[in-house]
Amino acid sequence: MGCSSSSTKTRRSDTSLRAALIIQNWYRGYKARLKARQHYALTIFQSIEYADEQGQMQLSTFFSFMLENYTHIHKEELELRNQSLESEQDMRDRWDYVDSIDVPDSYNGPRLQFPLTCTDIDLLLEAFKEQQILHAHYVLEVLFETKKVLKQMPNFTHIQTSPSKEVTICGDLHGKLDDLFLIFYKNGLPSERNPYVFNGDFVDRGKNSIEILMILCVSFLVYPNDLHLNRGNHEDFMMNLRYGFTKEILHKYKLHGKRILQILEEFYAWLPIGTIVDNEILVIHGGISETTDLNLLHRVERNKMKSVLIPPTETNRDHDTDSKHNKVGVTFNAHGRIKTNGSPTEHLTKHEWEQIIDILWSDPRGKNGCFPNTCRGGGCYFGPDVTSKILNKYQLKMLIRSHECKPEGYEICHDGKVVTIFSASNYYEEGSNRGAYIKLCSGTTPRFFQYQVTKATCFQPLRQRVDTMENSAIKILRERVISRKSDLTRAFQLQDHRKSGKLSVSQWAFCMENILGLNLPWRSLSSNLVNIDQNGNVEYMSSFQNIRIEKPVQEAHSTLVETLYRYRSDLEIIFNAIDTDHSGLISMEEFRAMWKLFSSHYNVHIDDSQVNKLANIMDLNKDGSIDFNEFLKAFYVVHRYEDLMKPDVTNLG
């Protein structure tokens, strides 16, 4: 009887063990599927982000093209603005920017006292936690004072650590103030014993860029030897036009916003481009290339790098002997060379410009070699061999960079020689990624600290958080798809030899990648984007279901509407560049001339008569001018998303 009882217990134990193993295997598979879905969503976010940056970089070649051609369209003297090329000598003095702006007694926000102390840092932090706005007078004064100190600094800041004085390296913050608060809460405020390096991209995308910038600048002014600021690719006023910081400034500072933007342009140009820790760790925002010359970068006049979108331009056109102003506020001399204040050396050489582009925009890859960064459109991809070559050449041991969102907040590659650090958690969507920072001390291994700001979703299960990410990723991908509806439809029909309205998944995926160029796993995504019949064929017109671009007027051709929607960000930047008086209006003549240049440069095949017809319709009061901001806002996507928003519908796994 005892033996029978023992045998029963053994069988029960075996059954329990098998059940536990089955549950464990199921859960592992479940977690793996969720991770795969999360990975696909992040891939969509990143591919579209890089495609947008590629479009932004392409604007640089357009501006060069525009500078060479625009004066030939307008023969008369044109007083056109280019914020990017105003010289410091043309800037108004401090009185016009700071002292002439009074702070009224009714202002109940933080009041800074110069020279600043650590008390002002605390004051600012508490005010921003209460969502108060710093008065424009103080914003401008902080920027002026910071620029004054930055002008005395070298291109690369050299710092030393010790066991009692570690340095903290933070990556991209992108306007996410809660992440900065969390870093200071976990790691302490900047001080003489707690130095920081902030590695660029303080602004854009997030809604609190100016607050982050003010906290960093005030901390820098209090501890100029212990808080270090590196320039990122978003410390660039042309990037701000597309990615949100410009609009944030103009929204929060309606009266003095334009003054702040003018000062910011010069502030960016004086930011150091890198930090070297203990003579062995290079900290730069983007990366390197096989031609990176740190000796040259140490002596380049960094303040001449106004914007990545304003490359060095030199033409040999034979203009009139008198200088002409082109339509972007740039002066051409008799030889067609751009100049701003009569100085022939106002701009970097092409080689110097490319050197800075590489360190602000490049990304590491596992493959050896150095090749163009086709995803972003600027900088390069550099392999482990390039890393070893450059580090060895300059007796360095490690490269710390930022510039790329990583799911865990950091990533180590190239045999431990390259570290990516990214400090903006929830960058794409709530729950999409952690943030991280690094602590460095001479002679020790870098230590990584991760975190994630959590709000509404902190108590949601993982599946629900992944569902939220997926829905957002699919939404922005559908917007990309609808913007190329005409091109995709033609591509589908060319593959559809039987005129059945159906293609194989492989054919559909080929068309999607060929037209959109996003390098996405289209076959895996197909079940989320299209209807697939019982034979496994794609009903390709279902690629455009539940979404459309709203037409501002019914007379507009679909191809024109899609083109204007697709290029609306580029066109907004271009129109802002030629808006002389900041009125938001451009003449019909300017509109037609710019469109002719734009369509020629971007190889857009649309009949000019369609554009002229639409422009005439949009000139509502028939005064010969177009409100181009309202014009571009008229092109927006409408989602019919009732079914997609149900958690079980979207599944990228």
Q: Tell me, yes or no, if 582 is annotated catalytic.
A: no
Q: How far is it, in rounded angstroms, from Cα 571 to Cα 565?
A: 10
40-66 in b/e form (b: 16+ CB < 10 A) is bbbbbbbbbbbbbbbbbbebbebbbbb
Cα–Cα–Cα angle for 217, 85, 152, rounded to 5 degrees: 40
Q: What is the largest CA-CA distance in the chain?
A: 116
C-alpha distances in Å from residue 232, one per residue of 158, 389, 458: 18, 24, 31
Identify the CA nearest to 624 among candidates 596, 592, 599, 595. Answer: 592
Provide the Cα torsion 171, 174, 175, 177; round to 10°: -30
Say which residues have a Cβ less than 8 Å from residue 405's Cβ, sequence separation at least 6.
Answer: 42, 45, 46, 172, 422, 424, 427, 428, 432, 433
The burial class, CB within 10 Å (0-12 / 13-18 / 19+), for 355 is buried
- State the residue for tokens 């005010």: 127
C-alpha distances in Å from residue 275, one per residue of 192, 200, 229, 242, 502: 17, 11, 9, 28, 56
Q: How far is it, in rounded angstroms, from Cα 521 to Cα 532?
A: 17
Cα–Cα–Cα angle for 603, 607, 613, rounded to 5 degrees: 130
Q: How far is it, in rounded angstroms, from Cα 302 to Cα 287?
A: 17
3-state helix, strand, coil in the chain (%, to 5): 45, 15, 40
Q: How far is it, in rounded angstroms, from Cα 71 to Cα 62?
A: 15
Q: How far is it, in rounded angstroms, from Cα 116 to Cα 214?
A: 12
Please report, as a single letter, which amino acid is at residue 530.
Answer: V
Q: How far is it, in rounded angstroms, from Cα 606 to Cα 345?
A: 40
Helix axes 136-150, 209-222, angle to 10 degrees: 50
Q: Would you call the peptide bond into 364 cis, given omega within 30 degrees of 0 as the criterion?
A: no
Catalytic residue among 137, 174, 228, 234: 234
CB distance 74 to 593 below 8 Å:
yes
Q: How far is it, in rounded angstroms, from Cα 217 to Cα 235?
A: 14
In sequence order, what are the beta bridge partners of 419? 400, 412
In three-state secondary structure terms, 351 is: helix
Please report, as a single letter, which amino acid is at residue 643.
Answer: D
Q: What is the DSSP letter of 307?
A: -
Provide the Cα torsion 58, 62, 63, 64; round to 10°: 110
Please report, as a single letter, which amino acid is at residue 172.
Answer: D
Residues forming the active site: 234
